[in-house]
Chains A and B, each alone.
Chain A
Amino acid sequence: GESVGLHLPTLSVQEGDNSIINCAYSNSASDYFIWYKQESGKGPQFIIDIRSNMDKRQGQRVTVLLNKTVKHLSLQIAATQPGDSAVYFCAENSNSGYALNFGKGTSLLVTP
């Protein structure tokens, strides 16, 4: 069945370094992918999305890469800051196109 998973449950990086969070998906029919950041006790916050007709999309300090051949998604955060510490979720659209299927999340810890 459909599944969205993450390679690493936790990631610790030093302030100023670049972070890479990886995600594998299994539904080759998915055409929309999205990354969220969730801080403790709050709802997920939209970071960036990408459609399946693109390989790369850049935002402010963030880049999402999509490799459809191996069904892999990654989020790159440049010059990671303490405020980036949070849990990051990838998600893909379901067959309906409306709901999202979420992975379990990766906890990013930024150390000084």
Chain B
Amino acid sequence: DGGITQSPKYLFRKEGQNVTLSCEQNLNHDAMYWYRQDPGQGLRLIYYSQIVNDFQKGDIAEGYSVSREKKESFPLTVTSAQKNPTAFYLCASSIGRVQPQHFGDGTRLSIL
């Protein structure tokens, strides 16, 4: 079945460590997105990519980095500069602009 796969489901980060969250889609969508969700809150945009080799900062990009080398993949790195990384991270994709975004089931990141 087509969809979005995020891995791992749970991830723990040590102080000073960078961690990378995986997001893969087989929907043949051009656009991909990363959102952060804190408890009892809506989703906030970290980064998005309209097309391969291009990405744009969202509202809360500080302390995060992304790459888009392949259409199917949009990994997110949470760097040590992100001082409050504990959250639920959601990846999404869409055919293009002004189209529904389809989400994966998220990665929950915690600090050791």
Contact B100 A43 (CB under 8 A): no
Known contacts A42-B106, A98-B50; is-contact A34 B100 (Cβ 8 Å): yes
Known contacts A44-B43, A104-B40; is-contact A99 B106 (Cβ 8 Å): no
Confirm or deny: B8 has a beta carbon within 8 angstroms of a beta carbon on chain A. Answer: no
Known contacts A31-B98, A105-B42; is-contact A98 B105 (Cβ 8 Å): no
Confirm or deny: B18 has a beta carbon within 8 angstroms of a beta carbon on chain A. Answer: no
User: A103 contacts which chain B residues (CB < 8 A)?
Assistant: 42
Interface size class of A (residues with CB under 8 A): 20 to 34
User: A25 contacts which chain B residues (CB < 8 A)?
Assistant: none
A38 CB, min distance to chain B CBs, angstroms: 9
Known contacts A89-B43, A105-B42; is-contact A100 B103 (Cβ 8 Å): no
User: A4 contacts which chain B residues (CB < 8 A)?
Assistant: 42
Interface size class of B (residues with CB under 8 A): 20 to 34
Contact B100 A46 (CB under 8 A): yes
By beta carbon, the residue of chain B nearest A31 is B98
Confirm or deny: B28 has a beta carbon within 8 angstroms of a beta carbon on chain A. Answer: no
Known contacts A32-B98, A96-B97, A104-B41; is-contact A43 B33 (Cβ 8 Å): no
Known contacts A98-B31, A98-B48, A99-B48; is-contact A43 B105 (Cβ 8 Å): yes
Confirm or deny: B82 has a beta carbon within 8 angstroms of a beta carbon on chain A. Answer: no
By beta carbon, the residue of chain A nearest B33 is A99
Interface residues of A (CB under 8 A from B): 4, 31-32, 34, 36, 41-46, 49, 51, 89, 91, 93-94, 96-105
12 example contacts (A-B, Cβ-Cβ < 8 A) are as follows A34-B100, A43-B90, A44-B43, A45-B103, A46-B101, A91-B42, A94-B45, A98-B56, A99-B58, A102-B35, A102-B43, A103-B42
